[in-house]
Chain A
C-alpha cells in the first residue's frame, strides 16, 4: 500500500511505521547491552519497523555513536535527543495530522490525544515506587492532550499511588466513564478499560468517509486482535480459562 500511495497518504503510512521502528531500535539496543545475538534480536523485530541499517545498531558503543552511525539517516533522527522518545514521535504525528485538516485531523486528533493521555497515566503508574523524580516524570509526558493543560500533568506528576492517578483523571469528563466501574486500587482492569476506550475511538474512524484515519484505525484494531489472541493463548496454556474475560477487548 505504501508503494502505491501518493503524498500525503504515503507520509501518513510512514508515520505508522515509525512507532514500530522505535520499538525495534529499543529492542536491539537493549538486547545488545545484554549481550544477545543480533540475529536472534532481528528475528524478534516487528516487520513494519525494519529499515536497512537496523543491524548496525548493535555496533554502537554509546548513544552518540548510535545517532551518528545509524539514526541520523533514518526518519527517527528528529525524535532523538538524549534518547529516543515516543513522546516526540506522537507530537510529530499530531502536528502532521493537524496540518492535513478535515476529517483526518478530527479523527486522528481524538485518537492521538487519548494515546498521549493514556501514556501519561501509564508512565505515572509504572513509575510509582521507583526512583524517578517528579521533574523527570513530567519530562516524559507529551506536550499535548486533555491532561496537558492546564493542570493535568502537574497533578499526575505528584501522584504517589493509583488512587491519586484516578483522582487526577476523573476530573476530566472524557475519562470519568473509564474509572466509574473500576474498584479502587485496581490496575489490571484499568489496562482493559484503556484498551476498550481506544477501541471505541478507533471504531468511530469507520463512521466517516474520505479520511486517512481508517488506515491507522485498521492497524491498531489488528494489533488489538493479536493482543486478544495472545491473552487467550496464555490463559489456555496456564489452565486459567475463567480469567480470559479479564483482558479480552471486543471489537465492533
Chain B
C-alpha cells in the first residue's frame, strides 16, 4: 500500500486524535463515577447531621419555577465540526419576569419563557470574558443561587450539604464534557474510517 508522506501523517494524526479522545473519555467517565459517589455520600452525611425530618423528599419544592442551569446545543456543521454542548449555570431568577412566578403557565407562555431564558443565558458567559471584577460578581451570583436552591431544607444547612451540591454541580459539568468528548471521539472515528477507505 503506497501512501504519500502527508497522507500518512494525516492518517496518524487522525488516529492519534481518536486515541486521545478515547483516553479523555475514559478518564472523564471514571472521574464522574467518583464525583457522584462522593456527592451521594456527602448528602447522606448531611442528612445524618441535620436529621431526616429536615431533609426529606417531602420538602422538595413542587412549585413551577425556571431552571437555574440549562444546556445549549450548537448543531454540527455538515462534514466539519462535531456538535458542541454548553452548560449555563446558576442564572439569576431576578433576571426573569418576577410576576410570572405567581401565575399558572399556559403552554405558549412556557415556550416564550424558554426563548427569553436563552437570551439571558448568554449574559453570564459574556461577562466572564470582561475581567476579574465581573468574575467575582459571577461567583457571588452563583453562590447566591446555590444558597437559594438549598433553602428548601431551611436557612441553615450543614456544610456537607454544600459539599454535596458542589459535587453534583461538578458531575453535571463532567457530563457535558463527556458529551463533547464523545462527539469529538465519534468524529475522529468517522474520519479514521473514511481515511482507511481512501487508502484501501
Known contacts being A188-B45, A230-B52, A231-B48, is A34 close to B159, with CB within 8 Å? no
B44, B58, B63: residue with the most chain A Cβ atoms closer than 10 Å: B58
Assess the B48–A230 pair: CB atoms within 8 A. yes
Assess the B40–A34 pair: CB atoms within 8 A. no
What's the Cα separation between A35 and B62 when bound, in Å? Answer: 6
CB-based A-B contact count at 8 angstroms: 81
Assess the B159–A238 pair: CB atoms within 8 A. no
Query: What's the minimum C-beta distance from B144 to chain A, rounded to whole angstroms?
Result: 8
- For A125, the chain B residues whose CB sits under 8 A away are 159
A interface, over-half SS: helix
Does residue A44 face the partner (Cβ distance < 8 Å to B)? yes
Query: What's the minimum C-beta distance from A201 to chain B, rounded to whole angstroms?
Result: 19
Residue of A at shortest CB range from B158?
A126
- For B54, the chain A residues whose CB sits under 8 A away are 23, 26
Query: What's the minimum C-beta distance from B168 to chain A, rounded to whole angstroms?
Result: 14
Assess the A34–B152 pair: CB atoms within 8 A. yes
- For B60, the chain A residues whose CB sits under 8 A away are 34, 36
Assess the A130–B59 pair: CB atoms within 8 A. no
Assess the A30–B59 pair: CB atoms within 8 A. yes
Query: What's the minimum C-beta distance from B171 to chain A, rounded to whole angstroms?
Result: 15
Known contacts being A230-B52, A231-B44, A234-B44, is A187 close to B160, with CB within 8 Å? yes
What's the Cα separation between A23 and B154 when bound, in Å? Answer: 12
Query: What's the minimum C-beta distance from B169 to chain A, rounded to whole angstroms?
Result: 16
Partner of B63, one of A34, A41, A131, A247: A34
Known contacts being A27-B58, A240-B41, A247-B45, is A188 close to B63, with CB within 8 Å? no
Assess the A187–B58 pair: CB atoms within 8 A. no
Does residue A68 face the partner (Cβ distance < 8 Å to B)? no
Assess the A36–B62 pair: CB atoms within 8 A. yes
What's the Cα separation between A85 and B158 when bound, in Å? Answer: 18
Interface size on B, residues (CB 8 A): 30
What's the Cα separation between A50 and B171 when bound, in Å? Answer: 40
Known contacts being A46-B53, A243-B41, is A31 close to B155, with CB within 8 Å? no
Assess the A27–B155 pair: CB atoms within 8 A. no
B49, B60, B61: residue with the most chain A Cβ atoms closer than 10 Å: B49
What's the Cα separation between A31 and B162 when bound, in Å? Answer: 21
Over the window 23-64 of chain A, the binary record of Cβ atoms lying under 8 Å from chain B Cβ atoms (1 yes, 0 no) is: 110110011001110001100101000000000000000000
- For A231, the chain B residues whose CB sits under 8 A away are 44, 48
Does residue B37 face the partner (Cβ distance < 8 Å to A)? yes
Partner of B48, one of A30, A36, A247: A247
Query: What's the minimum C-beta distance from A30 to chain B, rounded to whole angstroms?
Result: 6
Supply 11 further A-B pairs (C-beta < 8 A) apart from A123-B156, A243-B41: A23-B53, A30-B152, A31-B59, A34-B63, A36-B62, A126-B157, A130-B156, A132-B156, A188-B45, A191-B48, A234-B44
B: which residues have CB within 8 A of A? 37, 40-41, 44-45, 47-49, 51-54, 56, 58-63, 143, 147, 152, 154-160, 162
